[in-house]
């Protein structure tokens, strides 16, 4: 019997895990992101060597077995930047639970993409920020690719 987690369960679980980590949450957030990137990498026969291949591979994973949102779309720009557009994110709901308790939200997805992109494209990646233009669960995660 297959069983999916409810959004409410996942939000409460995400909030509880990161609240339990306390002051160490940011450090563990980066580590969790790297571990998730490793899990993605293990699903591949080989790492994509360019941005088009990376976009295709990561979007396929995020719309299939690692579906954490309704939309997860990656775009690369000619100026050496990239962004991940996310809408309907389950993790954001957990961050709202944290914020309602006076805690800071944490996003392992931002760190996962940073780690995965760095490994695949063999360059340094900097997470330069996030914008939240709409309702809870919608954001743009912005990255700068190294030269």
Beta partners for 140? 85, 131
Distance CA 108, CA 35 (A): 10
- What residue segments make up the domains of the chain, in order of their start? 7-145
Residue closest to 54 by CA, chosen among 67, 63, 41, 71: 41
Tell me the CB-side half-sphere exposure of residue 74, using CA atoms within 13 A: 24
pTM listed for this prediction: 0.92
The pLDDT tens digits along the chain (147 residues) read 566 778 899 999 999 999 999 999 989 999 999 999 999 999 999 999 899 999 999 999 999 989 999 999 999 999 999 999 999 999 999 999 999 999 999 999 999 999 999 999 999 999 999 999 989 999 999 999 996
In this structure, CATH architecture of domain 7-145 = 2-Layer Sandwich (3.30)
Both ends of the chain: CA-CA distance in Å? 48
φ and ψ at residue 80, rounded to 5 degrees: 85, 20
The DSSP call for residue 22 is G
């Amino acid at each position: 019997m297959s069983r999916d987690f409810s959004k409410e369960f996942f939000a409460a679980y995400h909030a509880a895990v990161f609240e339990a980590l306390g002051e160490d949450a940011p450090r563990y957030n980066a580590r969790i992101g790297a571990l998730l990137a490793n899990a993605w990498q293990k699903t591949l026969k080989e790492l994509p060597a360019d941005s088009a291949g990376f976009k295709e591979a990561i979007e396929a994973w995020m719309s299939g077995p690692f579906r954490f949102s309704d939309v997860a779309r990656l775009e690369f720009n000619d100026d050496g930047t990239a962004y991940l557009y996310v809408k309907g994110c389950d993790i954001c709901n957990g961050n709202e639970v944290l914020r309602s308790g006076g805690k800071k939200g944490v996003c392992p997805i931002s760190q996962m993409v940073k780690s995965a992109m760095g490994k695949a494209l063999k360059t340094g990646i900097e997470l330069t920020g996030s914008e939240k233009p709409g309702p809870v669960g919608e954001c743009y995660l912005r990255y700068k690719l190294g030269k």
